[in-house]
Amino acid sequence: MTASWTRDTDNPVTRWLFLTGHRLAVAALLSAAFAALTALVIEWGLVYVGGGSNFSTALSSGLLSGLLTLLTVVLSINQLILSRLFGSAGNLSDQLEGTLDYRRTVEGIADVAASPNDPGAFLGLLAEALDGRVEDFRREVGRAAVNVGDVDGYAAAVSGFADHLSSADDLDDPLKTLVVTLGTEYADHLDTTRRLRSRDGEALPDEAAAALDDVMGLLKAVATMRQFFKTLVLQQELALLSRRLIYTGVPAVLVAYLLSATYSTTPGVPTAIDPALMPLVVTVATAIILSPLAVLVSSLLRVATVSLYTVSIGTFVPPEETFEDD
């Protein structure tokens, strides 16, 4: 598969669920599904929630302890994030210098004094420079009238890829910018450029060879930028997950504790809440108690999807599965 992920997936619902949708909206949808399922099993008599039910045991010994365990995930996530942020002054300086060198390389090829800081605008600059240099390559080869294969087809394919990347020019969200780069198309063009340079490099005029080298450099820059923004997006996603688990976990523990306290340990004694209201109370409480799980699942769907479609940085690309095959 060489097309980008957005072109591979025709179902907008799938795309929204796995990647582009707001994670709180996905979590709310999952919580609503949990509540609806609970209401159904109670209505069908598969679960009894009245007085004398063992539901209180499940709350106190099962769900409550599970929630407390889930909340410890927050500490692990914070440790993971902080481990990537700490570093010595020398290491941080090297990282900064490496970033500046990368930007200077792109600026030199694009012939601009300074590249934009905005993710979408930077990718748009890469796309514009890539389209310009591949057109320069096609023009110089045509002028020299050398036989180097299907230059028009190669240039058209790379220009089409650049046009696709240019759609990120107006985007200000790193995630949306990253979505534009998903897939293996960049690696295919990188490999084709390498083969063309190796096979016909000696026959190319100097101007065409320089343009082809710039195309290679810009494709490498796309690959590097994609991995950088993947790291940024995943760190932000994990940080948000940590905070949202706290926001939903504390109320969930409190609701689980209070709901278990409404049941009496004495057989035959009704619940502290009107038994007629217990099905509704348990349904709403289930949505609240399982909301941390819904938050965790919704965030991990995005993390796993981003990781799957950005697993490779080079020309060695593993077989990539589409969602239609999942």
User: What single string gives the DSSP state of each residue in 190-201?
Assistant: HHHHHHHHHHHG
Q: Are 186 and 27 in contact (CB under 8 A)?
A: no
- List the structure tokens of 260: 């278990």
- Reported as a single tens digit per residue, the pLDDT across 49-93 is 777 677 777 776 667 677 777 777 777 777 766 666 666 666 767
- Given a cut of 90, is residue 287 above it in pLDDT? yes
Percentage above 70 pLDDT, the chain? 84
Q: Which residue has the higher pLDDT, 284 or 52?
A: 284
Q: Which of 141, 113, 315 is nearest to 219 (CA)?
A: 315
DSSP string, 76-125: HHHHHHHHHH---HHHHHHHHHHHHHHHHHHHHHHT-SS--SSHHHHHHH
- Given a cut of 60, is residue 45 above it in pLDDT? yes
Q: What are phi and psi of 4, to 5 degrees?
A: -70, 165
Residue 238 contacts by C-beta under 8 Å, 6 or more apart in sequence?
77, 80, 81, 299, 303
Q: Are 221 and 126 in contact (CB under 8 A)?
A: yes
Task: Name the amino acid, one letter, at 192.
Answer: T
- Given a cut of 80, is residue 185 above it in pLDDT? yes
Q: Which residue has the higher pLDDT, 201 or 272?
A: 272
- Which whole-number Å values give the CA distances from 106 to 50, 147, 193, in the listed order? 68, 30, 18
Q: Which of 126, 195, 189 is nearest to 157 (CA)?
A: 189
> How far is Cα 198 from Cα 45, in angstroms, rounded to an integer?
72
Q: Are 282 and 259 in contact (CB under 8 A)?
A: yes
The mean pLDDT value of the chain amounts to 82
Q: What are phi and psi of 183, to 5 degrees?
A: 110, -175
Residue 24 contacts by C-beta under 8 Å, 6 or more apart in sequence?
244, 295, 298
- Reported as a single tens digit per residue, the pLDDT across 89-132 is 667 677 778 888 989 999 999 889 888 888 889 999 999 999 99
- List the structure tokens of 114: 């300074």
Q: Are 294 and 31 in contact (CB under 8 A)?
A: yes
Q: Per-residue pLDDT averaged across 197-213, rounded?
A: 85
DSSP SS3 for 183 = strand
Beta bridge partner(s), residue 197: none
Q: Are 181 and 226 in contact (CB under 8 A)?
A: yes
Q: Are 183 and 309 in contact (CB under 8 A)?
A: yes
Q: Per-residue pLDDT averaged across 261-289, rounded?
A: 82
> Where do the H-state alpha helices sit in 146-277?
151-165, 174-181, 185-200, 206-261
Q: Are 30 and 301 in contact (CB under 8 A)?
A: no
> How far is Cα 316 from Cα 59, in angstroms, rounded to an integer?
50
Instruction: Look at residue 85 in the predicted model and tell me its pLDDT.
Output: 61
User: CA angle, 306 as apex, 78 and 162 as ends, to 5°?
Assistant: 130
